[in-house]
Structure 1
């Protein structure tokens, strides 16, 4: 016999006791109970001492999860189990995925709300053994056996907390945990206790900063503008002294003697122009001169190109050597 408390409405709450006949074993023992009509407290009051139901998921949470899609179940379990960093933390993502798949499997197997809640408690306990107690595989198997004590037995004096399951459900749970957790026990041990190697990759960059500007505009970048072009086209003109301007004006004004000298120079230049300096130049002389000039021009160009090619070759070989050293160290 089991008693449930039902709260009435109104200013004065009335309490009535509904007597539920618990008959049979396993799932049949609670077949007359409609978990949807019970509150979380009423569902807990129906449980025997040591029951694994309602430890992680309450009755209301389990009822709500059964009505959701698998995507919504994952989001809800992330909040309930405090695995909200699953998008950035691999450990939280793995645990959330394991709980979600486990809940959905139990739901498709037709487990009741009580059995669903207890199944999540079993998964949480086994994972906690690995994380908190660093239990081995054999120790975790022994703990699972201890939780299944009393299933299908005529006497329920010794119970591991899952006596509301029948033998067939216990076998399904054992097979599921074996394939999903026990076969990958080493992986979960490494996830909780393995130390991951941290690799720090860095690149050193040499950055040259601009000097302090002493003009209205900052100094030009070396790769952007040459200094001669800056001084000629961009730099503001220097302050001009008026006294110097007067002296330049006076010196620029020619006198009579200077004009006479310029006239004489012009006459001499005219006489020199009238004499053609190329009268005695032959075609062979022009060809010889052209060969000399071209050799001087293109010879320097060839030397410059050869030098740049050698510098480029040395730079490429240096980079290849660095790559080989990195590959050998890794």
Structure 2
């Protein structure tokens, strides 16, 4: 193995201009060829690239924070709406716009609309359907006379539906259903957030209690009987065999 000495006069490399002038600047291509690496970057370029990178990183972090905040705000709004819906459920069968329309109708027109809403086609011959129609129409008309808002009316209609379903579907005893009513009406006295008022005040909650006491709970056994009959048609009367001695006195 032989070695080439660059400082020898007979060496071909010694006759190159770079060998006699070490101060001479090398071009980037020659420097890469000789050293196998790229030339060093100027400090000003490094600083500029660093600042640009930092700015892009800061903007990305700020954008991510903004997106996270918007997502959290949407989640908070959805959570509050969900809590409000749980505390103050609305009747699913009609919207607030439909309630506004019903408020301008007469009681006969309201009854006709509820026949369609509830799907009660045989209320004139079926005691159960007639009772249901009267139950909901009377409840709606009472809320109208109380000048409640659409949201309040929708809640009361949902409450009427809930209590009646407890009788018809769950065969819930009187005391249990009364406790369910107390839970729901007490929930309307609690505000879902500091910015939102409660659905009802104390006087309104008492009025609802008095109405349901007279309309449903005092007739609880009748509603239990209504939904416990196996036949679709309930007889309004039945034949009674009377003693012969009483027949002359019967009109």
Shorter-chain TM-score tier = 0.5 to 0.7
Taking only aligned residues, the RMSD between alpha carbons, in angstroms, comes to: 2.9
Q: Are positions 1:175 and 2:210 aligned together? A: yes
Q: Any conservation in 2 of the 1:56–1:120 contact (CA below 8 Å)? A: no
Of 193, 198, 201, 1:166 maps to 201
Give the unaligned 5+ runs of structure 2.
1-80
**Aligned pairs (5 A) from 1:132-151:** 132-151=169-188
- TM-score (normalizing by structure 2): 0.55
* Distance in 2 separating the partners of 1:86 and 1:77: 11
The answer on whether the counterparts of 2:83 and 2:192 sit within 8 Å (CA) in structure 1 is no
Q: Which of the pair is proportionally richer in helix? A: 2
Name the residue aligned to 2:127: 90
Query: What secondary structure does 1:149 align onto?
Result: helix
Find runs of 4+ consecutive structure 1 residues off by over 3 angstroms.
150-153, 194-201
Question: Alpha carbons of 1:191 and 1:53: their partners in 2 closer, same or farther (altered >3 Å)?
Answer: same
Task: Note the 1:100-119 alignment, pairs <5 A.
Answer: 100-119=137-156
Instruction: Find 1:127's aligned residue among 164, 178, 186.
Output: 164
Task: State the SS of the aligned residue for 1:173.
Answer: helix
Q: Distance in 2 between matches of 1:148 and 1:165?
A: 9
Higher relative contact order (CA 8 A, sep 6+): 2
| Aligned mate of 1:67, from 84, 91, 104 | 104
Structure 1 gap segments, 5+ residues each: 1-44, 202-322
> Could you tell me the TM-score, scaled by structure 1's length?
0.43
Cα contact 1:66–1:107 (8 A) shared by 2 = yes
1:163 Cα shift?
4.1
Deviations 1:28-66 (A, max 9, x none): xxxxxxxxxxxxxxxxx7993313124232112101110
Length, aligned pairs only: 155
Distance in 2 (CA, whole Å) between partners of 1:62 and 1:156 is: 24
Correspondence for 1:193 among 228, 231, 234 = 228
